[in-house]
Amino acid sequence: MDWGMENRLAQLIQPDGRCCFLPIDHGYFQGPTRKLEKPGETIRPLLPYCDALFVTRGVLRSSVDPHNTKPIILRVSGGTSMVGKDLANEGITTSMTEAIRLNVAAVGISIFVGSDYEHESLLNLSKLVDEGEEYGIPVMAVTAVGKELEKRDARYLALSSRIAAELGAKVVKTYWCEDFDKVVQGCPVPVVMAGGPKVNTELEVLEFVHDGIQKGAVGVNLGRNIWQNDFPVPMIKAIRAVIHENASPKEAYDLFNSSKNEKD
């Protein structure tokens, strides 16, 4: 692997082989998502605890201090909205030149396997990988958002994740599901888990993150279940403990509760 590519991947996946990415890209199709209305304010207290930020160029430039940040995974697909016809009809929104100008550690793009736009989204991924290889920039493929999430089972997520890896993604972001080991085992590159819409209890999140890590995921790219929590800093600390300190869900939940009583 070329030095630049390897160096960028090493910025993202930590020496223990794990990672905690913080996505704040949701506005690119959802608009001012709850608790992400002012992204700069949302992320400020969380930045010390994440290993990378997943963000669009607009929010990066407007809301993230270039002097004080973490490695950036730049969201470079979009062009649809939640009130439009079909979320799956994405294109590439940001050039590789812009990604280099922004000094990013990786770029991220969604694919929509099984949708009317499967072909386009997979060719977009392939094109992005070709460009990324030229400049040593890894691509993170994001599987199954929006309507495609209804198919949140191991068979579908394994199919999507494997295709993303075959087309050259260096990291695949997918969702946790029952039999998650089938997803990880069929994917020859590192897999990270997203959280999806906020779930009811912190313990549920910690349990699925723990299960996914036990089954081979290298970490998370998990947003709403952190920054929509009433206690986002204790929540990211608890998730980090599962990822980087092998904490059990119960140990991490105890940490969440004890951190709630501390001043950040």
Give the catalytic positions in this structure. 173
Determine, following the binding rule CB under 6 A, whether residue 26 of this chain makes contact with ligand 5RP: yes
From CA 159, how far away is CA 163, in angstroms rounded?
6
Which H/E stretch holds residue 236? Answer: helix 232-244
CB of 28 to ligand 5RP, least distance (A): 7
Q: In this structure, are strands 171-175 and 191-194 parallel, antiparallel, or unpaired?
A: parallel
Q: Of 29, 36, 40, 28, nearest to 225 (Cα)?
A: 36
Beta strand segments in the chain, E: 19-23, 52-55, 72-75, 77-78, 91-92, 106-111, 139-143, 171-175, 191-194, 219-221
Determine, following the binding rule CB under 6 A, whether residue 196 of this chain makes contact with ligand 5RP: yes
Which of residues 63 and 136 has its CB atom nearest to ligand 5RP in the complex? 63
CB of 3 to ligand 5RP, least distance (A): 28
From CA 236, how far away is CA 256, in angstroms rounded?
8
* DSSP 8-state secondary structure symbol assigned to residue 185: H
Determine, following the binding rule CB under 6 A, whether residue 157 of this chain makes contact with ligand 5RP: no
Helix, strand or coil, per DSSP, at residue 3: helix
CB of 197 to ligand 5RP, least distance (A): 7
Q: Of 92, 55, 58, nearest to 221 (Cα)?
A: 55
From CA 96, how far away is CA 137, in angstroms rounded?
9
Q: Report 207-246 residues binding ligand 5RP (CB under 6 A).
A: 221-225
From CA 192, how far away is CA 184, in angstroms rounded?
9
Q: Report 63-102 residues binding ligand 5RP (CB under 6 A).
A: none
Which of 8, 11, 20, 25 is the binder for ligand 5RP (CB under 6 A)?
25
Determine, following the binding rule CB under 6 A, whether residue 194 of this chain makes contact with ligand 5RP: yes
Total chain residues near ligand 5RP (CB under 6 A) = 14
Determine, following the binding rule CB under 6 A, whether residue 35 of this chain makes contact with ligand 5RP: no
From CA 24, how far away is CA 234, in angstroms rounded?
18
CB of 141 to ligand 5RP, least distance (A): 10
Which of 11, 20, 23, 210 is the binder for ligand 5RP (CB under 6 A)?
23
Which of residues 88 and 145 has its CB atom nearest to ligand 5RP in the complex? 145
Task: Quote the distance between the C-alpha of residue 85 and its chain's center.
Answer: 24
Which of residues 7 and 38 has its CB atom nearest to ligand 5RP in the complex? 38
Which of 96, 142, 144, 187 is the binder for ligand 5RP (CB under 6 A)?
142
Side chain identity, residue 103? N
Site mask for ligand 5RP (CB under 6 A), range 162-181, x = bound: --------------------
CB of 2 to ligand 5RP, least distance (A): 27
Q: Which residues bind ligand 5RP (CB under 6 A)?
A: 23, 25-26, 54, 142, 145, 194-196, 221-225
